[in-house]
Structure 1
Amino acid sequence: MLRSFLTVGGWTMLSRVLGLVRDQLLAAFMGAGPLQDAYQVAFRLPNMFRRLFGEGAFNAAFVPQFSAILTTEGPDTARRFAREALGVLVFWLLALTALGEVFMPAIVSVIAPGFGLHGGGERHDLAVSLSRITFPYLVLICAAALVSGVLNGMGRFSAAAAAYATFNVVGIAAILWLAPFTATVAHAAAWGITASGVVQLGLLLVAARRAGMELALPRPRLTPQIRTLMRRMVPGLVGSGISQINLVVDTIIATLLPTGSVSLMYFADRVNQLPLGVLGAAAGTTLLPELTRHVAAGDTRAAHETQSRALEYALILTLPATLALIVLARPIMATLFGHGAFSARDAALSAQSLQAYAIGLPAFVLVKVLSPGFFARGDTATPVRVGIATLVLNFALNLSLYRPLAHVGPPLASSLAACANAAALGWLLRRRAALALSPGCAGRLARMIAASFVMTAMLALAQMTPLGHVADWTTLPRVIGMAALVCLGTAVYGAALQALGVADSRAIMRRLATRLNRR
């Protein structure tokens, strides 16, 4: 499991790094203004579907069912099921896309009500135009999610994880080379989104064929297996995707704030998504198939140990990342995005949003780790109930905080709601005896927290030195100073883990040496 976790995490990390490069270009060319706001809203819809289906409800419903069919009935039956699922999925998504293209003005009015109230409707019209370009991406990426589920169900995680990196590669190319031929940089970036869906789906279909699971697009039929899949998937759309729905609520509220607030929150969320996407997605993707096998075999002890290990693997990096993002928010935003049209003031304001998002980072990751505990047992109803309660809480918190805290209010509301979500899921799993920490896990988690605070104290001390003014330096010294702070934090955290007995550096080096020699 650790090898699969690191494989998915490694490819996801590459994708996130490329994503940061893409976002840096967006910030440099468009800054934090009406053009950026309109583009981010246009990107929100297909991106929500990508996260829901690529990392959420569809994966949670399809992978266990496909894995079970593959194990019990063989590859031919599993291939037929995958093809049937692809046919139904593409059919209704094409219908949804057609409706979306026709009624896009109304959709934008719902998800961005503030655009029609401020700026004379300019942002609204621009968001409609851009959304019509990006909306077909949801068909392509959802089909790609199915093919990824097939590969994950077969234990082939690398190809699926690597394909998603092409989203940012194509996006970067579109911004740099397509922009001169379109009305604005935003239009070029929007076309890049849809083009990346074509590339991702094509690469995944090739990988599936090489794995002996060639997929075709049959006539859609509601077979008994497809009905079972739909019953499991529909409630899971709310349960596993509640964090994405909360982010959409944040966007709706943000459009009611002054122009540029949507952009400030977007760039903060992108930095927060780096550890969340790498650790949360890797944990959820690799945990679900293995946990499903243990549950299907009736091996309760192995299921408990698997989920306990996943929790440790995720939190050993999430905890220090959370505190580092809070302490270093301003230099991070200035270093990554403080160029071109994105001003120093924009970076400082966006850093405040980042701190609010980072508070909920451990909770967001825990939701990714805890949700498979329900999905592996065929229970998608419980996460739905918890998710609905969380959504109501998030909306109430947003309404309470967005006026006094402006661009900090929606991120803070989302973080607090995520904490409630994770706490409820954990409590319910424990109550059902579906979650039990392995011996020594609680002690290791406590020592991880202690090591994280040691690192935080050292970074706080570093802020009192010249490194504390990194955000005010010019570009190259700023990058060097930020790299020094990251290296300092990493070294202190690693040393603290070693001193507290959480990690043995010599054992890790021996394992790495063995792996390299074997290769």
Structure 2
Amino acid sequence: MVSRVLGLVRDATRANLMGTGLLGEAFTVAFNTPNLFRRLLAEGSMSVALIPTLRTYLSDGDERQTEDFLSASFSILIIVVGAVVAMGMAGSTAIANLYASVGRQPDVAFDALETAVLLRIMFPFLALVSIAAFLQGILNAHGVFGPSGMAPILFNVCFIVVPVLFGNVFGNPARAMAAGVLVGGVAQAICQLPAVIRGGSRFRFVHPLVALRNPGMRKVLALVAPTILGMAAYELNAFVSTALAAGVGAATSVGLSIRLQELVLGVFVVSVGTVLLPELSGLAASLQWEPFVGRFRQSLEVVMLVSVPVAVFSIVARVDIVTLLFKRGAFDNASVLMTADAFFFHTLGLVFIAANRIIAPVFYARKDTRSPTWAGMAAFGVNILVAMALSPSMRGSGIALALSIASAVNTGI
């Protein structure tokens, strides 16, 4: 809860300093890009595949095999993420130019040069947050959640404090916030390490060939590939939405709308899903299917009971919510209306996204990554087609509606 509130303060600070103008658009696009890879390679993929496999090792009680597995997982993660960071920084100009061309409307400007600079600053964040996600996976597999809950709090504090205190040093608010992102990434990783050490978990960097020969690592890799499209379907949809939104000058308003949606999900849904995965993994490992099904049903009922009335309230009070949270500084009346319109259509899909966050762990706990993969691929395709069709006329609202429709397709499948 504290983390989500601070995240809201973070977004309000960003809106105040940059609004929905060129600088705000550049920062939104640059920040979302490494975050896509973060969700695919870390939180949305590596940690989901890591937890069920690690739970199996912990159940067997062989400390040496557990250490070898963690070492192999850590090594492969560092190599893959390091390569992505290097390519992202080297190709920042090409990435920015791609954003400048996708869905670009003739009357919409885009600062590709500033976007490229911000991409180079923030891509190393991917490495930092991937390490943090790896440590979180270890702690969650042991049933420890406190330090992982503190990590995003520290990230948001750094995001807010650095641009406020050192904004003049970096030339503009966007670059100051980018520096805050890096400092926050360091804080996320460091704050969890003592708890991992106290818990007795050990790991080291090993040669990649040694890592790839580890049987546990091979299981993780087999789970990771389909998980990228399955668990991260929502994040992939959000990425496409951002790219198309930049083309119609609505990246910031759509981004803030998604953040409001994620605030609701984070407070009422994500915490349930985070606790649910290791619990279901343990039940599946011991073949306790009756309590497995009962726990899933209970979690889904609780989430639906909360998300439906929250969605209705958010639709009715959307303009007041956006005005209260963001209207100050560079965020004017036009920015409020753009964001509120997008939030209306995003909220239509809130119930489906909430359901997906509970349904997906059921498959991953049973090591079934194929089913959510097909659902994610179908939803991703629907989102692209609908967003491309609606964005020229509805702008940011059309992109938000496309994401809600795609989420409904994902849930239905």
TM-score range, shorter chain: over 0.9
Other-structure match for 2:357: 368
Other-structure match for 1:232: 223
Native 8 Å contact 1:41 1:112 kept in 2:
no
* Counterpart amino acid of residue 239 in structure 2: V
Does residue 241 of the first structure (1) align with residue 229 of the second (2)?
no
Measured in 2, the distance between the counterparts of 1:248 and 1:308 equals 31
Q: Which is greater in Rg?
A: 1
Does residue 330 of the first structure (1) align with residue 319 of the second (2)?
yes
Native 8 Å contact 2:108 2:247 kept in 1:
no
Does residue 90 of the first structure (1) align with residue 78 of the second (2)?
yes
**One of 291, 294, 304 as aligned partner of 2:293:** 304
> Structure 1 length normalisation: TM-score?
0.76
Measured in 2, the distance between the counterparts of 1:42 and 1:423 equals 32
Shift of 1:333: 0.2
105-114 or 391-400, larger mean C-alpha shift: 105-114
**One of 241, 261, 273 as aligned partner of 2:262:** 273
**One of 177, 182, 189 as aligned partner of 1:194:** 182
Alpha-carbon deviations, 1:292-335, whole Å to 9, x = none?
A: 12122222111100101111222222112111110100000000
Native 8 Å contact 2:242 2:251 kept in 1:
yes
**One of 272, 282, 298 as aligned partner of 1:283:** 272
* Counterpart amino acid of residue 186 in structure 2: V
Other-structure match for 1:377: 366
Other-structure match for 1:143: 131
Shift of 1:215: 3.6
Native 8 Å contact 2:236 2:380 kept in 1:
yes
Native 8 Å contact 2:43 2:130 kept in 1:
no
**One of 48, 72, 77 as aligned partner of 1:60:** 48
Unaligned runs of 5+ in 2: none
Unaligned runs of 5+ in 1: 1-12, 425-519
Shift of 1:197: 1.0
Native 8 Å contact 2:99 2:247 kept in 1:
no
Distance 1:155-1:340 versus aligned 2 partners, 3 A rule: same
Measured in 2, the distance between the counterparts of 1:275 and 1:148 equals 22
**One of 330, 334, 337 as aligned partner of 1:345:** 334
Does residue 256 of the first structure (1) align with residue 247 of the second (2)?
yes
Native 8 Å contact 2:25 2:110 kept in 1:
no
Native 8 Å contact 1:100 1:135 kept in 2:
yes
Distance 1:184-1:302 versus aligned 2 partners, 3 A rule: same
Alpha-carbon deviations, 1:223-269, whole Å to 9, x = none?
A: 22212211111110111000010011111211221x3x111111111
Native 8 Å contact 1:356 1:415 kept in 2:
yes
Shift of 1:364: 0.6
Other-structure match for 2:158: 170
Distance 1:96-1:51 versus aligned 2 partners, 3 A rule: closer
Distance 1:279-1:59 versus aligned 2 partners, 3 A rule: farther
Alpha-carbon deviations, 1:115-174, whole Å to 9, x = none?
A: 987689761111000010000111111111111000000000111121121110110111
**One of 272, 278, 293 as aligned partner of 2:282:** 293
Shift of 1:43: 0.4
Distance 1:131-1:199 versus aligned 2 partners, 3 A rule: same
**One of 186, 193, 207 as aligned partner of 2:195:** 207
Q: CA RMSD in A?
A: 1.8
Aligned length in residues: 410
Q: Whose RCO is larger (CA < 8 A, sep 6+)?
A: 2
Native 8 Å contact 1:55 1:285 kept in 2:
no
> Structure 2 length normalisation: TM-score?
0.95
Other-structure match for 1:391: 380
Does residue 154 of the first structure (1) align with residue 142 of the second (2)?
yes
Aligned with 1:164: secondary structure? Answer: helix
Other-structure match for 2:393: 404
Does residue 19 of the first structure (1) align with residue 18 of the second (2)?
no
Other-structure match for 2:204: 216
* Counterpart amino acid of residue 356 in structure 1: F
Shift of 1:217: 3.0
* Counterpart amino acid of residue 251 in structure 1: T
Quote the sequence identity (%): 30
Shift of 1:54: 4.8
Shift of 1:53: 4.5
Distance 1:55-1:311 versus aligned 2 partners, 3 A rule: farther
Aligned with 2:35: secondary structure? Answer: helix
Aligned with 2:311: secondary structure? Answer: helix
Shift of 1:71: 0.8
Alpha-carbon deviations, 1:489-514, whole Å to 9, x = none?
A: xxxxxxxxxxxxxxxxxxxxxxxxxx
Measured in 1, the distance between the counterparts of 2:51 and 2:4 equals 24
